[in-house]
Amino acid sequence: EDQVTQSPEALRLQEGESSSLNCSYTVSGLRGLFWYRQDPGKGPEFLFTLYSAGEEKEKERLKATLTKKESFLHITAPKPEDSATYLCAVAPFGNEKLTFGTGTRLTIIP
Protein backbone atom coordinates (compact mmCIF):
# COMPACT_ATOMS: atom_id res chain seq x y z
CA GLU A 1 0.00 0.00 0.00
CA ASP A 2 1.28 3.44 -0.94
CA GLN A 3 2.09 5.70 2.01
CA VAL A 4 3.03 9.34 2.41
CA THR A 5 4.24 10.90 5.65
CA GLN A 6 4.84 14.60 5.98
CA SER A 7 6.78 16.41 8.68
CA PRO A 8 6.60 18.56 10.59
CA GLU A 9 2.84 18.76 11.08
CA ALA A 10 3.12 22.49 11.66
CA LEU A 11 5.93 25.01 11.25
CA ARG A 12 6.14 28.63 12.32
CA LEU A 13 8.87 30.79 10.81
CA GLN A 14 9.81 34.39 10.96
CA GLU A 15 9.61 36.25 7.68
CA GLY A 16 12.87 35.64 5.85
CA GLU A 17 13.73 32.51 7.82
CA SER A 18 14.41 29.68 5.36
CA SER A 19 13.47 26.07 6.10
CA SER A 20 12.46 22.74 4.55
CA LEU A 21 9.38 20.54 4.65
CA ASN A 22 9.75 16.79 4.38
CA CYS A 23 7.69 14.19 2.54
CA SER A 24 8.64 10.54 3.01
CA TYR A 25 6.95 8.02 0.77
CA THR A 26 6.65 4.38 -0.15
CA VAL A 27 5.08 3.49 -3.46
CA SER A 28 5.03 0.53 -5.81
CA GLY A 29 6.85 2.23 -8.67
CA LEU A 30 6.73 6.01 -8.61
CA ARG A 31 5.02 7.63 -11.57
CA GLY A 32 5.17 11.06 -9.99
CA LEU A 33 5.40 12.96 -6.71
CA PHE A 34 3.26 16.06 -6.48
CA TRP A 35 3.37 19.12 -4.25
CA TYR A 36 0.28 21.21 -3.68
CA ARG A 37 -0.48 24.31 -1.67
CA GLN A 38 -3.81 24.57 0.14
CA ASP A 39 -5.21 27.73 1.66
CA PRO A 40 -7.93 27.49 4.36
CA GLY A 41 -11.32 26.65 2.88
CA LYS A 42 -9.90 26.18 -0.61
CA GLY A 43 -8.93 23.28 -2.82
CA PRO A 44 -5.28 22.33 -3.35
CA GLU A 45 -3.31 24.37 -5.86
CA PHE A 46 -0.73 22.53 -7.94
CA LEU A 47 2.91 23.51 -7.42
CA PHE A 48 5.29 20.84 -8.77
CA THR A 49 5.60 17.35 -10.18
CA LEU A 50 8.82 15.37 -9.70
CA TYR A 51 9.39 12.14 -11.58
CA SER A 52 12.80 10.74 -10.73
CA ALA A 53 15.43 10.84 -8.01
CA GLY A 54 17.76 13.81 -8.35
CA GLU A 55 15.18 15.99 -10.02
CA GLU A 56 14.66 19.54 -8.76
CA LYS A 57 12.08 22.18 -9.61
CA GLU A 58 11.78 25.80 -8.55
CA LYS A 59 9.06 28.38 -8.41
CA GLU A 60 9.70 31.75 -6.81
CA ARG A 61 10.79 31.06 -3.22
CA LEU A 62 10.05 27.33 -3.41
CA LYS A 63 12.29 24.51 -4.55
CA ALA A 64 11.30 20.85 -4.55
CA THR A 65 13.78 18.00 -4.59
CA LEU A 66 13.36 14.23 -4.83
CA THR A 67 15.23 11.13 -3.68
CA LYS A 68 14.14 7.51 -3.84
CA LYS A 69 12.56 7.75 -0.41
CA GLU A 70 11.64 11.36 0.22
CA SER A 71 11.05 14.79 -1.17
CA PHE A 72 11.85 18.15 0.32
CA LEU A 73 10.15 21.45 -0.25
CA HIS A 74 12.65 24.16 0.50
CA ILE A 75 11.35 27.62 1.15
CA THR A 76 13.83 30.47 0.93
CA ALA A 77 13.27 33.83 2.62
CA PRO A 78 9.54 33.21 3.02
CA LYS A 79 6.94 35.94 3.15
CA PRO A 80 3.64 35.98 5.08
CA GLU A 81 1.76 35.17 1.87
CA ASP A 82 3.55 31.82 1.78
CA SER A 83 1.52 30.77 4.81
CA ALA A 84 -0.58 27.75 3.82
CA THR A 85 -0.77 23.99 4.18
CA TYR A 86 1.60 22.19 1.83
CA LEU A 87 0.49 18.76 0.66
CA CYS A 88 2.58 16.02 -0.87
CA ALA A 89 1.09 13.18 -2.93
CA VAL A 90 2.37 10.19 -4.90
CA ALA A 91 1.01 8.31 -7.85
CA PRO A 92 2.17 4.83 -8.88
CA PHE A 93 2.64 3.66 -12.43
CA GLY A 94 -0.53 2.52 -14.12
CA ASN A 95 -2.79 4.30 -11.67
CA GLU A 96 -4.29 7.75 -11.77
CA LYS A 97 -5.04 7.76 -8.05
CA LEU A 98 -3.04 10.00 -5.76
CA THR A 99 -2.16 9.14 -2.17
CA PHE A 100 -1.83 12.27 -0.07
CA GLY A 101 0.05 13.05 3.11
CA THR A 102 -1.62 15.00 5.91
CA GLY A 103 0.29 18.15 5.04
CA THR A 104 2.50 20.68 6.79
CA ARG A 105 0.78 23.79 8.03
CA LEU A 106 3.24 26.63 7.45
CA THR A 107 2.86 29.98 9.16
CA ILE A 108 5.15 32.89 8.30
CA ILE A 109 5.21 35.59 10.95
CA PRO A 110 5.81 39.17 9.77
Partner 1 sequence: GAVVSQHPSRVICKSGTSVKIECRSLDFQATTMFWYRQFPKKSLMLMATSNEGSKATYEQGVEKDKFLINHASLTLSTLTVTSAHPEDSSFYICSARDPRGGENSPLHFGNGTRLTVT
Q: Does 41 bind partner 1 (CB under 8 A)?
A: yes
Q: Does 87 bind partner 1 (CB under 8 A)?
A: yes
Q: Which is nearer to partner 1, 20 or 52 (CB)?
A: 52
Q: Does 30 bind partner 1 (CB under 8 A)?
A: no
Output the CA–CA distances (angstroms, integers) from residue 3 to 15, 16, 20, 79, in the order listed: 32, 32, 20, 31
Is the CB of residue 6 less than 8 Å from the CB of residue 88? yes
Can you tell me the distance from the alpha carbon of 30 to that of 32, in angstroms, rounded to the nearest whole number? 5
Give the interface with partner 1 as residue ranges (CB under 8 A). Answer: 4, 9, 31-32, 34, 36, 41-46, 49, 51, 87, 89, 96-98, 100-103
